[in-house]
Structure 1
């Protein structure tokens, strides 16, 4: 079953908070999506949700620059 964008955003958010995303390719493989989808979702998280997402090479993970969580509930 194909994941919705909301489900992908929630999972990426969870992995970012755990500092366990891996690089873009690893994250794409984990989520069963293409790398382009990962980059598009990360762009959306940064621009629409104003989340301070960084990639830290020594951690091999995307992280939030400040502590936070994306909430997509009504």
Structure 2
């Protein structure tokens, strides 16, 4: 129960950070559209890459366990 709360809290904080980065990139008016797009893309990558890597590591460990136990 506590672990689920911790994960959800971390997920929420990370999501809020990504939203902050995306909003921050649109507030500055002096930037070009390319810079704004690049910052939004960077914020999305900051959000997705840890989750994708985590899922891949979990799958790799499960495959190793299956081969080791099987």
TM-score (norm 1): 0.28
Greater strand proportion: 1
Which structure's relative contact order is higher, taking Cα pairs within 8 Å and 6+ residues apart? 1
Greater helix proportion: 2
